[in-house]
Each structure stands twice: as structure tokens, then as C-alpha cells.
Amino acid sequence: MTDWPLAELLPHAGDMILIDNILSFDEEQIFTRLTVKPEGLFSLPDGSLPAWVGVELMAQSVAAFAGCHARQKGNPVELGFLLGTRKFECNVEAFPAGSDLTIHGLRSLEDDNGMGVFECHIHGAGIHASARLNVFRPPQVTQYLQQTQESNDD
């Protein structure tokens, strides 16, 4: 586990932070954890969490990976983008309320321009989900966002 609060590692706030904590991380991977709460932001009437939210759980785990590495180097945590998901598969339609889920993100590629690919898995009792996430973390995020805004204004 880390000593850093999740709110300092993720560019999310309040109820939008879906993972509960970081179990461990190293140079190539991260393990995070979540207990499905029936009153969660995306909960279904029965308290379960739709399986499609698994993509966001994976993305937040990857964001936490980047946040941990930034903090470890003494750098600020910066914004990143989920570009796409490939091969999302899940053996359940929803994660039942009270389920303990472990999310694993393994970096398979990351270049100097900020493009990355992570192989991600979610495991719980009788639960398995997997996907490949394509992510982008621009080296100069403020400049990137400003250029994007300027091109939208034209």
C-alpha cells in the first residue's frame, strides 16, 4: 500500500474516485482494490456495479500507476487520457454488492510521447474481467490542452 491518498494520485474528485486503495505497484504494474458498495455512483438498484464500469476501474488503476510514479519522482500528478479499450471481456453482467475486487494493470508499452498500453484484469470471487487500455499522457499537458482549446476556437 502507499501512504499517498488516492485523491492526490488521481485527477478525479469525491464519488468519482471508484477504487478504494492501492495494494502495490512497481516499475511495470499496479494492483488496486475495491469493495463494491451498494450506494455507489454507478450502482444498479440491487446495489451491484455494472460490468462496463470495469473499464473505468482499470483506467483509474492505470491513472494511479502514473500518479504513484510521479509522486515517487517528486513530480506533480498530471492529467492523462483513456484513448480506447480493446477486447473488454467479463464473465458477469454486474459485480455484486459487497464483492472484493482486485484490479491489476500491467504496462506492456509506453513511449516518450506519452502513448501507453496496459493489460488489465479484474478478479473477485467467481469474477474475471480483462481488457487492453490505450492511454495518452502528454509530456506537457498544460500546453497540450491549450493547443487543443485554440484549435477548437478556430
Q: What is the pLDDT of residue 154?
A: 64
Instruction: State how far the Cα of 66 lies from the Cα of 138, in Å rounded to an integer.
Output: 12
Owning domain of residue 78:
6-153
Q: Domain containing 91 — which CATH number? A: 3.10.129.10
Domain count for the chain: 1
State what percent of residues in the chain have pLDDT above 90.
67
Q: Is residue 149 part of a domain?
A: yes
Q: Is residue 30 part of a domain?
A: yes
Q: What is the pLDDT of residue 138?
A: 79
pLDDT in tens, 11-23: 777 788 999 999 9
Q: What is the pLDDT of residue 4?
A: 82
State what percent of residues in the chain have pLDDT above 70.
89
User: For residue 46, what are the contacts with CB-CB under 8 A and spacing of at least 6?
Assistant: 38, 94, 97
Average pLDDT of the chain to the nearest whole number: 89
What does the radius of gyration of the chain's CA atoms come to, in whole angstroms?
A: 16
Nearest in space to 128 (alpha carbons), one of 85, 98, 99: 99
Q: Is residue 113 part of a domain?
A: yes
Nearest in space to 89 (alpha carbons), one of 61, 67, 121, 65: 121
Mean pLDDT of 81-107: 96
Supply the pTM of this predicted model.
Answer: 0.89
Confidence of residue 10 (pLDDT cuts 50, 70, 90): confident
Confidence of residue 149 (pLDDT cuts 50, 70, 90): low
Q: What is the pLDDT of residue 102?
A: 98
* Residue in this structure with the C-alpha cell 515517487, named with its chain if needed: 72
Instruction: State how far the Cα of 98 lies from the Cα of 134, in Å rounded to an integer.
Output: 29
pLDDT in tens, 116-136: 999 999 999 999 999 999 999
More confident residue, 119 or 111: 119
| Other CB atoms within 10 Å distance of the CB of residue 12 | 15
Q: How many angstroms separate the Cα of 103 from the Cα of each of 16, 21, 53, 114?
A: 17, 10, 12, 22
Phi, psi at 17, each rounded to 5°: -80, 110
Q: Is residue 1 part of a domain?
A: no
Q: Is residue 129 part of a domain?
A: yes
Instruction: Indicate the pairing of strand 94-95 with strand 81-90.
Output: unpaired
